[in-house]
Amino acid sequence: MGKDVIIACDFPSKERVFEFLDLFKEEKPYVKIGMELFYGAGPDIVREIKRRGHKIFLDLKLHDIPNTVKSAMRVLSSLDVDMCNLHAAGTISMMEAALEGLTRPDGTRPLLIAVTQLTSTSQERMEEDLLIHEPLDKVVMHYAENAKRAGLDGVVCSPLEAEKVHTVCGKDFLTVTPGVRFAGGDVGDQVRITTPEKAKEIGSDYIVVGRPITAAADPVAAYRRAVAEFVD
């Protein structure tokens, strides 16, 4: 499986995304579409970006009863996305149902990745709000193992957790890692960060990079820098 840089297209409107993608004349970056853009612009945004030749990670983080997730995944699969995700907290049966829904009649399907514990959840919140009393990293690894047991392709995690996920779940189990910043760049609201180069060293399979590319003075140059450090 080839390593790639996925650009988080966190723009509020279709116009802004296309204005951004139009900057890329030579390459067709892999893009991540999140809830804001999908709910605002509708499923057509996926079809249009796909038509322009980009690969798409649709980041909608599904979590519901197995049958509902299965039906929803069938719709996402027909949108021809390349990667989508769900919450591992929905249980192994929910993840198995999701895979079933995602698999097309010809046996092909988008990659399916699980969110373990959101990076916004602290140990304290997990214990007090969710009554989960195990250490956070143990919970993350347990959810990753559940995702693997259900047949999923990998997890979204911090680049700093990628190595451990590979040790626990095998090197072919994908790690998709946000929280990437260039050396000397603006950290913003991310806390546990790493550079593209370091993410490569640790063994991330895909890095998700938003503002260091989308807010750069020259987004194409920033994208090329990320590719040069992470992929090449």
Please report whether residue 121 would count as binding ligand C5P according to CB under 6 A: no
Please report whether residue 190 would count as binding ligand C5P according to CB under 6 A: yes
Please report whether residue 97 would count as binding ligand C5P according to CB under 6 A: no
CA–CA separation, 167 and 48 (whole Å): 38
For ligand C5P, the closer CB: 70 or 177: 177
Q: Shortest distance, CB of residue 180 to ligand C5P, whole angstroms? A: 6
Residue 162, Cβ neighbours under 10 Å: how many?
24
Please report whether residue 196 would count as binding ligand C5P according to CB under 6 A: no
Dihedral sign (CA 45, 46, 47, 50) = positive
Q: Are 69 and 86 in contact (CB under 8 A)?
A: yes
- 3-state DSSP call for residue 219? helix
Please report whether residue 179 would count as binding ligand C5P according to CB under 6 A: yes
Q: How many residues bind ligand C5P (CB under 6 A)?
A: 15
Catalytic residue among 3, 61, 164, 198: 61
Q: Is 138 a catalytic residue?
A: no
Q: Which residue is nearest to ligand C5P (CB)?
A: 210
Which residue in 67, 132, 137 sits closest to 98, CA to CA? 67
Please report whether residue 147 would count as binding ligand C5P according to CB under 6 A: no
